[in-house]
């Protein structure tokens, strides 16, 4: 029997599934999370006897999910538990830490005493188990421990398995640059997510390796690779959730913008971006058929890449335009720098901090117009720090590089004149925009794609679509699943 406060959902077969208690809901990083759903997913593992999930804030301002499991006779491997629930739950519902207990603490009435559950200790986790062996590894262990707020880190522990996310990644790379004097691009965390890997990069990586636009996000799999192009901000961290949802059989590469590290000038023409990215793509896959995609601005670049590849005789089996706006819709004057900076400031929270995903940093465009560039950026940086949108390690140099890329991409979008594409494209659009804009979006892409266009509506907004399970489900048939 069900009680007042029980939460359930209606299954397709008409049965009612119990998913937890209303009083076990938490809000984390802007999302309302039902802890019972996570517990139910963990309980599916054959080696889990009981599971409880709570939200802890052991450090002020750092609330995170912690899972407690009681094993059956054989103890489960934490990496297996994490992999299991990653296939079933969105990324914001994945616990940052797992604790294995012999039994759960109980109240006198026999209920689980959630307040008595111990704080997680990385020593109870499935750590890499290898202590630092070099000075570089020792320095990185100290930095990782401070950034992730955990006492013990093994040199083979995975950054994301330890609870790392995009904002912490930004903070980590800034701290490494401050203390060790070497700039590592954010995207290196995908292919090199351990201290051992980073130490190797610090000691022996070539500029060519670090400056390549190609980012290996999901390396394994037997299916043809899927290449996704960066959005306006230039980095490809936004594709992490999608790559994970598509699974380990789908190789996934991102193409990040030239100039993110400040050592190269950003590209200002869509055509030049496409040519550069094709060269990088063909180091992995020299011949078609190709599978291409891009979210937002990235869809425009993917469109031009498909044009150039097709004109060279290559086959394109997928051109996925993920809520991309056709440049022909942009029939208004190009914004001035102050307006660009206003848009840039507004996107900072969405770019790096899921906790502040629905919070938009507001700055005065009138004040920006009275300032020189560095003064403008310092003003934005000050306001972002005041709103706790950016970590304190981020300084003027990093903000300058980020804006240079965003500005170049916006200029490229406004100057690009797309030509009709004789192949087929697939548009994934969100349902949370005006009917007029949706109609224009569909009509303009349809008029440019003479080989036909397939259209899929995804529930959500422009920023949630790239992390949604619904998008992954719609993409799978096109990728050979």
How confident is the model at residue 13, as a pLDDT? 58
Q: Looking at the predicted structure, is the pLDDT value of residue 372 above 90?
A: yes
How confident is the model at residue 168, as a pLDDT? 82
Please report which confidence band the pLDDT of residue 304 belongs to, taking 50, 70 and 90 as the band edges.
Answer: very high
- Distant-in-sequence, close-in-space partners of 332: CB < 8 Å, separation ≥ 6: none
| Partners of residue 53 on adjacent β-strands | 67
How confident is the model at residue 431, as a pLDDT? 87
Provide the mean pLDDT of the chain.
Answer: 84
Q: Looking at the predicted structure, is the pLDDT value of residue 355 above 50?
A: no
How confident is the model at residue 8, as a pLDDT? 54
How confident is the model at residue 79, as a pLDDT? 73
How confident is the model at residue 256, as a pLDDT? 94
* SS3 state of residue 280: helix
How confident is the model at residue 14, as a pLDDT? 60
Which has more confidence, 415 or 1?
A: 415
C-beta contacts of 391-398 below 8 A and 24+ residues apart: 391/167, 391/170, 391/171, 391/174, 393/171, 393/174, 393/175, 393/178, 394/170, 394/171, 394/174, 395/174, 397/262, 398/174
Lowest model confidence (mean pLDDT) among 10-19, 134-143, 171-180, 343-352: 10-19
Instruction: Report residue 125 CA to chain centroid gap.
Output: 24
Q: Looking at the predicted structure, is the pLDDT value of residue 184 above 90?
A: no
How confident is the model at residue 98, as a pLDDT? 86
Please report which confidence band the pLDDT of residue 10 belongs to, taking 50, 70 and 90 as the band edges.
Answer: low
Which has more confidence, 236 or 347?
A: 236
Please report which confidence band the pLDDT of residue 170 belongs to, taking 50, 70 and 90 as the band edges.
Answer: confident
How confident is the model at residue 21, as a pLDDT? 52
How confident is the model at residue 205, as a pLDDT? 52
Distance CA 46, CA 132 (A): 35
How confident is the model at residue 202, as a pLDDT? 84
How confident is the model at residue 440, as a pLDDT? 87
Cα-only R_g, the chain? 23
How confident is the model at residue 123, as a pLDDT? 46
Residues 68 and 51: beta-carbon distance below 8 Å:
yes
According to DSSP, the β-strands at 425-430 and 25-28 are unpaired
pLDDT digits (tens, 9 = 90+) for 73-92: 777 777 778 878 877 787 77
Say what the alpha-carbon torsion angle 274, 277, 283, 287 is, to the nearest 10 degrees.
-30
**What pTM was computed for the model?**
0.74
Which has more confidence, 25 or 470?
A: 470
How confident is the model at residue 177, as a pLDDT? 86
Share of the chain above pLDDT 70, in %: 86
How confident is the model at residue 24, as a pLDDT? 75
Share of the chain above pLDDT 90, in %: 39
Distance CA 267, CA 274 (A): 10
According to DSSP, the β-strands at 62-71 and 6-10 are unpaired
- Domains of the chain plus CATH, in order, are 21-105 (3.30.300.30), 127-205 (1.10.1200.10), 337-415 (no CATH)
How confident is the model at residue 244, as a pLDDT? 83
Please report which confidence band the pLDDT of residue 392 belongs to, taking 50, 70 and 90 as the band edges.
Answer: confident
Lowest model confidence (mean pLDDT) among 148-162, 246-260, 309-323: 148-162
How confident is the model at residue 332, as a pLDDT? 65
Say what the alpha-carbon torsion angle 102, 104, 106, 112 is, to the nearest 10 degrees.
-170
Please report which confidence band the pLDDT of residue 228 belongs to, taking 50, 70 and 90 as the band edges.
Answer: very high
Residues 270 and 277: beta-carbon distance below 8 Å:
no
For the segment 306-329, the average pLDDT, to the nearest whole number, is: 93
Distance CA 391, CA 362 (A): 18
How confident is the model at residue 18, as a pLDDT? 47
């Amino acid at each position: 029997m069900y009680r007042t406060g029980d939460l359930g959902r209606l299954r397709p077969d008409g049965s009612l599934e119990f998913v937890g208690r209303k009083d076990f809901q938490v809000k984390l990083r802007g999302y309302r999370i039902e802890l019972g759903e996570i517990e139910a997913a963990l309980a599916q593992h054959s080696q889990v006897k009981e599971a409880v999930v709570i939200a802890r804030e052991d450090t002020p301002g750092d609330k995170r999910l912690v899972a407690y499991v009681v094993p059956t006779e054989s103890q489960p491997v934490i990496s297996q538990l994490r992999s299991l629930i990653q296939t079933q739950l969105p990324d914001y519902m994945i616990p940052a830490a797992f604790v294995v207990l012999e039994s759960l603490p109980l109240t006198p009435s026999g209920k689980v005493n959630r307040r008595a559950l111990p704080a997680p200790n990385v020593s109870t986790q499935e750590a890499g188990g290898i202590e630092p062996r070099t000075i570089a590894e020792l320095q990185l262990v100290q930095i990782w421990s401070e950034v992730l707020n955990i006492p013990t880190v093994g040199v083979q522990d995975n950054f994301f398995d330890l609870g790392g996310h995009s904002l912490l990644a930004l903070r980590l790379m800034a701290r490494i640059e401050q203390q060790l004097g070497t700039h590592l691009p954010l995207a290196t965390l995908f292919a090199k997510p351990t201290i051992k890997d980073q130490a190797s990069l610090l000691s022996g990586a070539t500029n060519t390796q670090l400056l390549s636009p190609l980012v290996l996000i999901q390396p394994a799999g037997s299916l043809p690779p899927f290449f996704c192009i960066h959005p306006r901000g230039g980095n490809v961290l936004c594709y992490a959730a999608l790559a994970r949802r598509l699974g380990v059989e789908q190789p996934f590469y991102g193409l990040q913008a030239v100039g993110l590290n400040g050592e190269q000038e950003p590209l200002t023409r869509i055509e030049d971006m496409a040519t550069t990215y094709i060269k990088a793509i063909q180091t992995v896959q020299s011949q078609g058929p190709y599978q291409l995609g891009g979210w937002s601005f990235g869809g425009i670049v993917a469109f031009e890449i498909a044009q150039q590849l097709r004109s060279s005789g290559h086959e394109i089996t997928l051109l996925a335009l993920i809520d991309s706006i056709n440049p022909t819709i942009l029939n208004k004057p190009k914004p001035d720098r102050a307006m660009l900076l206003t848009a840039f400031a507004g996107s900072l929270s969405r770019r790096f901090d899921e906790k502040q995903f629905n919070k938009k940093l507001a700055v005065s465009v009138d004040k920006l117009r009275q300032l020189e560039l560095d003064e403008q950026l310092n003003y934005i940086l000050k306001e972002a720090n005041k709103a706790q949108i950016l970590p304190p390690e981020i300084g003027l140099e990093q903000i300058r590089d980020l804006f240079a890329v965003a500005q170049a991409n916006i200029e490229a979008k406004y100057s690009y004149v797309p030509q009709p594409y004789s192949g087929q494209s697939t548009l994934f659009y969100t349902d949370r925009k005006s009917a007029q804009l949706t109609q224009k979006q569909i009509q303009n892409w349809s008029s440019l794609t003479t080989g036909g266009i397939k259209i899929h509506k995804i529930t959500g907004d422009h920023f949630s679509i790239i992390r949604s399970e619904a998008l992954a489900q719609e993409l799978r048939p096109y990728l050979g699943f």
